[in-house]
């Protein structure tokens, strides 16, 4: 069988690998990771391939693949923090990340404080002696505030805390946070990296070997590993990431401009629009691309939002993002449901806000669907 050289990595759908003898077992424990395998919770060729490919894109020291974006965040937090430590988090963050920090980590004795966007580059008043890290997103979910990663990295280094960046919305095609000074990057692989709405996975990419080994240990010990088949599917999706992102971005810009001039649309949030407060930063940090997600607000009435969703013929209401097919979601009722009414209002996530994950379809088809649906509200 040694003459067989598959162009695509086969699926190693096994939970355990066999050894020839005790010598082979000892070699396993003395060799670097990925040289040989014992148990899929510890490592598998399919998940290793995915980790290596994402690490190459993000230019890190190595990557660890996990079972979801949430377990990627958990792996980093558990790798860096222990009971008694303090964590900072950008106030504008995915609701699931906020729930993990506020509802679960606090039960383990890790304290959490939230930093509003206006205070993110001057952390002095939020820092404590026991503060270990700051978690933030390259582009915030759902209102697309763009973070100056380089500036924030300078600030976190000054206070000797780790900067952990969730780069899910931007992807390494637009922004590579490690090159801008971040210590750790995480992705929900479920989104753009796999790209086809058929995988649930996460990944952690570290700048330093020491952090990587800690994350690897947490993944193995807590059982946060990804299955071989999902690793294989995600690695397959990753092959078209660059092509897909270009189309997502160009479609999103065209649709943002269309929505901006529509009389029934009250506001559009998209970094590619010239009036976005961080447009220049987004242009520089995103290599002239602005991502495939935008949000917009129609009338702040549930019934109006419902009518709009029901009228759409080709754009489903599906509370996730980044698939090749477009979808809309409703932040106030899904991703940010756990936020208090007061916090949602303060952030601008009102009843009429709709998040649009723009797919790679022909933009004319998407605009025609939006046109007829908006006509009915």
List residues with catalytic annotation: 41, 94, 166, 191
Q: Report the first-to-last Cα separation within the chain, whole angstroms.
A: 64
CB-based contact 149:285 (threshold 8 Å)? yes
- Count of CB atoms within 10 A of residue 376's CB? 12
Secondary structure percentages of the chain, helix, strand, coil, to 5:
40, 15, 45
297/124 Cα distance (integer angstroms): 35
Closest Cα partner for 226 from 271, 180, 193, 249?
Answer: 193
DSSP string, 156-187: HHHTT-EEEEE-TTTHHHH--GGGGT-SEEEE
Alpha carbons within 13 angstroms on the beta-carbon side of residue 292 total 32
CB-based contact 336:99 (threshold 8 Å)? no
Q: Kindly give the pairing relationship between strand 267-269 and strand 293-297.
A: antiparallel
Query: To which residue do tokens 């380089």 refer?
Result: 150
188/141 Cα distance (integer angstroms): 13
- Count of CB atoms within 10 A of residue 168's CB? 27
Q: How long is the chain? A: 377
């Amino acid at each position: 069988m040694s003459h067989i050289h598959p162009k695509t990595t086969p699926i190693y759908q096994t939970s355990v690998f066999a050894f020839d003898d005790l010598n082979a077992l000892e070699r396993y424990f003395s060799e670097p990771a990925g040289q040989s395998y014992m148990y899929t919770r510890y490592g598998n060729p399919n998940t290793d391939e995915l980790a290596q490919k994402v690490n190459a894109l993000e230019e890190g020291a190595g990557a660890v693949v996990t079972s979801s974006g949430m377990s990627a965040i958990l792996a980093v937090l558990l790798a860096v923090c222990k009971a008694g430590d303090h964590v900072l988090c950008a106030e504008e963050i995915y609701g699931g990340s906020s729930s993990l920090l506020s509802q679960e980590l606090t039960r383990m004795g890790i304290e959490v404080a939230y930093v509003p966007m206006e205070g993110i580059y001057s952390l002095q008043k939020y820092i404590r002696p026991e503060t270990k890290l700051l978690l933030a997103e390259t582009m915030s979910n759902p209102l697309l505030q763009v973070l100056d990663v380089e500036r924030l990295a300078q600030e976190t280094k000054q206070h000797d805390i780790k900067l952990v960046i969730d780069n899910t919305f931007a992807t390494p095609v637009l922004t590579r946070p490690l090159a801008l000074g971040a210590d750790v990057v995480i992705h929900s692989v479920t989104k753009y990296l796999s790209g086809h709405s058929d995988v649930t996975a996460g990944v952690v990419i570290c700048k330093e070997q020491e952090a990587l080994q800690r994350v690897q240990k947490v993944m193995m010990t807590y059982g946060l590993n990804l299955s071989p088949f999902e690793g294989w599917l995600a690695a397959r999706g990753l092959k078209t990431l660059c092509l897909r992102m270009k189309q997502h971005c160009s479609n999103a810009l065209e649709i943002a401009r269309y929505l901006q001039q529509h009389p029934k649309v009250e506001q559009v949030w998209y970094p590619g629009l010239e009036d976005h407060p961080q447009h220049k930063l987004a242009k520089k940090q995103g290599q002239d691309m602005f991502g495939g997600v935008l949000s917009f607000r129609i009338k702040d009435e549930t019934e109006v939002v419902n009518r709009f969703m029901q009228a759409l013929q080709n754009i489903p209401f599906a509370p996730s993002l980044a698939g090749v097919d477009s979808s809309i979601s409703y932040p106030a009722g899904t991703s940010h449901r756990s936020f208090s009414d007061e916090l949602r209002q303060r952030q601008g996530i009102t009843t009429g806000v709709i998040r649009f994950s723009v797919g790679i379809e022909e933009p004319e088809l998407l605009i025609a669907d939006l046109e007829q649906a908006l006509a009915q509200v």
